[in-house]
Structure formats: C-alpha cells, structure tokens
Copies of this chain bind each other. A is one copy, B any other.
C-alpha cells in the first residue's frame, strides 16, 4: 500500500506538505493542495494508523471485556461501547472470556500490548485479578454492571443491585412466596454473585433463607434473563408450569423478555446506555491519563448509578395454596 512518501513523490512535494493537507493543519497553497489530493486519489493512499499510533503513543482504541457475547445483554453493552467509541474515532477490541481466568489474563495482556487507551469491563470471574493488573500498569478501567468491587480506583457504571433485588423479593413475598431460590450463573460471574448476596440480604430482612433445591422452591430468582428463560423451559419440560407452579424472575430485560410467549418479570437494565456511559467515562479518563475512578476537579463523577426498575409481567404469580404458603 502506498506510503506518505510515495504520495509526496508523485505530487512533487515533501512528506510534511502531504501530511499537512491530510490533517488539515497548517496552511497549504491551493494549487499544492490540489496536486496532493490528486496524488492521494491516484494512489488510493490511506494513512497508516499504526505509524500514527506509534508516534502518538496511543493505540487509539478501547478494549471491552465481556463474558459472553451471545448473551443479548452483553451484546447490547458492546453496541453501546462501539457507538460511543466511533464518535471519537476509537476502534474497539472485544474479548469475550467466558469468565475463565486464562482468557481474562490473555485479554489483559493483549490490551496492554496493543496500548489501548482504556478498558471497559462488562463481566469478570469471581476474584479476578484483571482490573488490578490493568490499573497497576496505569491503564484506565471502568467497570460496567459488575456490582460492588472493593478497589476505589476503577470507574463504575452500575445499578443499585441491593435495591433491585429488594424490589424483586418484595414483589414475590407480597405475592405470598416464602420458599425462594436463586438460580446461579454457570459462569461463576461476579455480577451474579453480587445479585445473589443482595437477594439473600433481602430474604434475611424477612427472616427467610434461600432454599437450595430448585424442586422445593415456589419462586426462582435468576441471575439474568437468559438463565430465567432457560429455567422456564427446563421447568416446563419437567412438568411444572410457570407461573402456576413456580414463579420465575430475571434480570436485564432483554428484548425477548417482553415476548408474548415469555412475559418475564424482570429488572430492567439498559445495556446500550450502560456501554455508552462506561465508554464516555473511559475516554475521559484516558484523556486525563489516569484511573477512571479518580474524580476530575471539574466534577465528573466516578460512579454512575443507572435506574433498574422492576418490570412485572406474567412469569410471577401467587403460589399454589397447597405448597406455597407454608414457612
């Protein structure tokens, strides 16, 4: 592919002049500009972003980490990230890790080596070292929807998980459920863990404790919509009707949750918005060359809490009298 110097030679000018017309900085005589533009068109020249990045000491890209692209919530998150990134000309490198520490490590090193400007983390294995590793190298990090993390350095965009789970439990409790179970994420993901804790706290406030066996529960609170939807299928294949025999709730409000054949009661989470906000925060942090969590004097906030309303649909109902109301 043609280089700057090839264009310069063809136009009969120097590299700097070509560079100047390309970037629109500095004044260039009208005639010279025209010659250069013709040379560019004739050679099909495209600036080499790698050389630019080397010089700029910035990869001009963002990294995103998600556990599973196939889950619509994470797909939406990535869409939000891409839109926001495109706005500032950043490319986005995606890594989906399936919450395996090995993949997380590999992603961290890849991002570090490619000198991305910041990384947005949408999901992590429980106890992951990734954010610390990244931040120790001076990489700005923002956590999107992960629930509480002890480290104060990363930026955070999240829900009030405690409030959301309280609303779910209140709804179910109000319906008469007393035997509630939690559907854990197969991926052992950190957000799911936070939701489980919040769920159990809400239960404890009512003197209840989570039932361990799916069979014994009259209501199942799933970590996210995809698991809730899968649970409905599993339960119904086993002969238990939802919501007549068991109530099921989700989390995320993926588009499908509203489908007439699913009608899932769930907590709404706007993945696209979350991705967008997280990305804006990440870009701002990169621009100021420091951890996303550190507050800017101008007053940008380091933690954004998005609303997470409970959406009641038809996957929850009062328990059957013969089993649901007992202690």
The interface of chain A, by Cβ under 8 A from chain B, is 1, 44, 46-51, 53-54, 59, 61, 69-70, 72, 75-76, 78-79, 82, 86, 91-96, 106, 109-110, 112-115, 136-138, 229-230, 232-233, 236-237, 255-256, 259-262
| Cross-interface CB contact of A233 among B94, B230, B232, B260, cutoff 8 Å | B260
Copies held by the complex: 2
Q: Collect the chain B residues with CB atoms within 8 Å of residue A237's CB.
A: 260
Contact (Cβ within 8 A) A232 B256? no
Contact (Cβ within 8 A) B79 A113? no
Measured between alpha carbons, how far is A61 from B79 in the docked complex, in Å?
20
Measured between alpha carbons, how far is A231 from B197 in the docked complex, in Å?
38
Contact (Cβ within 8 A) A110 B91? yes
Please, which residue of chain B has its CB at the minimum distance from the CB of A44? B137
A211 to chain B, nearest CB (A): 24
A119 to chain B, nearest CB (A): 13
Q: Give the top 8 A-B pairs by smallest Cβ distance, nearest first.
A: A49-B113, A261-B261, A49-B114, A69-B75, A233-B260, A46-B112, A70-B75, A50-B53
Q: Could you pull out 19 A-B pairs where Cβ atoms are within 8 angstroms?
A: A1-B112, A1-B115, A1-B137, A48-B113, A49-B110, A49-B113, A50-B54, A50-B59, A50-B114, A69-B75, A69-B82, A70-B76, A82-B94, A82-B95, A91-B114, A94-B94, A230-B259, A232-B260, A233-B259
Q: Collect the chain B residues with CB atoms within 8 Å of residue A48's CB.
A: 54, 113, 115
Q: Collect the chain B residues with CB atoms within 8 Å of residue A95's CB.
A: 82
Q: Collect the chain B residues with CB atoms within 8 Å of residue A114's CB.
A: 49-50, 91
Measured between alpha carbons, how far is A59 from B50 in the docked complex, in Å?
7
For A54, A138, A255, A261, the residue with the greatest tally of chain B CB atoms inside 10 Å of its CB is A261
Q: Collect the chain B residues with CB atoms within 8 Å of residue A233's CB.
A: 259-261
Contact A259 to B229, CB < 8 A, known contacts A59-B50, A70-B72, A112-B46: yes
* Further contacts, 12 of them, CB under 8 A, given A1-B137, A50-B114, A50-B115: A1-B112, A47-B113, A49-B113, A49-B115, A50-B54, A69-B79, A70-B76, A72-B72, A79-B96, A91-B110, A229-B256, A237-B260
A135 to chain B, nearest CB (A): 12
Measured between alpha carbons, how far is A113 from B4 in the docked complex, in Å?
12
Contact A46 to B113, CB < 8 A, known contacts A69-B78, A261-B262: yes
Contact (Cβ within 8 A) A46 B259? no
Contact (Cβ within 8 A) A86 B70? no
Q: Collect the chain B residues with CB atoms within 8 Å of residue A47's CB.
A: 113
Contact (Cβ within 8 A) A94 B96? no
Please, which residue of chain B has its CB at the minimum distance from the CB of A114? B49
Q: Collect the chain B residues with CB atoms within 8 Å of residue A232's CB.
A: 259-261
Please, which residue of chain B has its CB at the minimum distance from the CB of A82? B96
Contact A79 to B75, CB < 8 A, known contacts A49-B115, A137-B44, A236-B260: no
